[in-house]
């Protein structure tokens, strides 16, 4: 069978017109079983939340009044975690390491022994169970950690306003545990770089170096009086050996190590009290 050129051209033109009228094809949607990383929005906690910083909260404890958690998250995915079992332990447990984000960017997991997991929110963290699920029950609302104000940065305006480390400071908190108001432990700094004080048992003296907010102590000498077993001296001297920076908020001086929770806090004594 033969076709005339006129008929063939008419047929081709009709086919082209019909093709142009067909609806444009669409890509297939992702199935419900698609991996979480494919379903995650570009804006998740990892990318849209200002998550680096220090978080703190008191979570339920089976055999104590509560566990005080302080978790410092750094931008390079390093962390420092402090666990203090209130009314049960003498000092907090300190761990540090690295954390990893979940595939959907909503939660993190620490590389500690428990593999601790936290859901990351705006200025808050929620402790999850070992399967990465929310903890239910009547105490569910008590597993939140709130973001803390960054004390080392806040200390700069305070120092610029004329609040210096020089003077006498009485201990009010050691290793995140309050001490009795009538304790006699203190440190006294002079502008020439000398420090003296009382450990609760012995007198101490030595030197210190302060540059901006970075603090270091030189060798500290103490008297050799025999001390009771319940004295604060061992912990106090251990703190002085670890400290590397300070922060001042009002009349309160904090001795810190890196960006972890304060090792000790002091209250500035007025001149008449210091004498």
Rounded average pLDDT over 88-97 = 85
Last residue of a domain, one of 128, 147, 166: 147
Each residue's pLDDT tens digit, 35-67? 333 333 446 889 888 899 999 999 999 888 889
pLDDT computed for residue 30 by the predictor: 35
Last residue of a domain, one of 147, 181, 208: 147
Each residue's pLDDT tens digit, 15-39? 444 444 444 443 333 333 333 333 3
DSSP string, 218-254: ---EE------TT-SHHHHHHHHHH--EEEEETTEEE
Each residue's pLDDT tens digit, 118-171? 999 999 999 999 999 999 988 889 999 999 875 444 433 334 334 479 999 999
Cα-based distances in Å from 237 to 102, 116, 139, 201, 221: 41, 32, 38, 11, 10
Q: 183 and 264 in one domain?
A: yes
Q: 167 and 138 in one domain?
A: no
Query: CA angle, 187 as apex, 185 and 191 as ends, to 5°?
Result: 165
Kindly report the CATH number assigned to the domain that includes residue 136: 2.40.128.640
Each residue's pLDDT tens digit, 234-262? 999 999 999 999 998 888 999 998 877 78
Q: 251 and 155 in one domain?
A: yes
Q: Residue 123, by phi and psi: left (phi above 0), alpha (psi -120 to 50) or beta? A: left
Cα-based distances in Å from 50 to 44, 78, 124: 11, 15, 10
pLDDT computed for residue 154 by the predictor: 40
Q: 218 and 117 in one domain?
A: no
Q: Are 92 and 176 in contact (CB under 8 A)?
A: yes
SS3 category, 160: helix
* Residue 190 falls inside a structural domain: yes
Last residue of a domain, one of 116, 132, 147: 147
Q: 107 and 190 in one domain?
A: no
202: closest CA among 178, 220, 222, 185? Answer: 222
In percent, the amount of the chain with pLDDT more than 90 equals: 50
Task: Report pTM.
Answer: 0.46
Q: The domain containing residue 126 runs over which residues?
A: 45-147
């Amino acid at each position: 069978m033969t076709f005339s050129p006129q008929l063939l051209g008419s047929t081709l033109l009709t086919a082209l017109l019909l093709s142009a009228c067909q609806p444009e094809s669409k890509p297939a949607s992702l199935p419900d079983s698609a991996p979480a990383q494919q379903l995650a929005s570009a804006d998740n906690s990892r990318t849209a939340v200002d998550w680096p910083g220090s978080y703190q909260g008191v979570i339920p404890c089976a055999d104590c009044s509560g566990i005080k958690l302080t978790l410092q998250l750094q931008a390079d995915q390093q962390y420092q975690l402090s666990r203090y079992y209130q009314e049960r332990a003498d000092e907090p447990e300190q761990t540090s390491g690295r954390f990893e984000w979940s595939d959907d960017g909503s939660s993190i997991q620490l590389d500690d022994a428990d593999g601790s997991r936290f859901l990351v929110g705006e200025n808050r963290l929620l402790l999850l169970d070992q399967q990465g699920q929310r903890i239910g029950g009547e105490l569910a609302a008590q597993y939140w950690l709130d973001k803390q104000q960054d004390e080392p940065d806040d200390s700069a305006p305070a120092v610029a306003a004329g609040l210096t480390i020089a003077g006498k400071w009485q201990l009010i908190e050691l290793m995140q545990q309050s001490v009795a108001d009538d304790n006699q432990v203190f440190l006294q700094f002079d502008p020439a770089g000398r420090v003296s004080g009382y450990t609760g048992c012995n007198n101490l003296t030595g030197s210190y170096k302060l540059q901006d907010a970075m603090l270091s102590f030189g060798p500290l000498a103490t008297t050799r009086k025999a001390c009771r077993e319940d004295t604060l001296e061992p912990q106090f001297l251990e703190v002085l050996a670890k400290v590397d920076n300070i922060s001042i908020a009002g009349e309160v001086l904090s001795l810190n190590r890196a960006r972890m929770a304060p090792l000790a806090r002091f209250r500035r004594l007025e001149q008449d009290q210091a004498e």
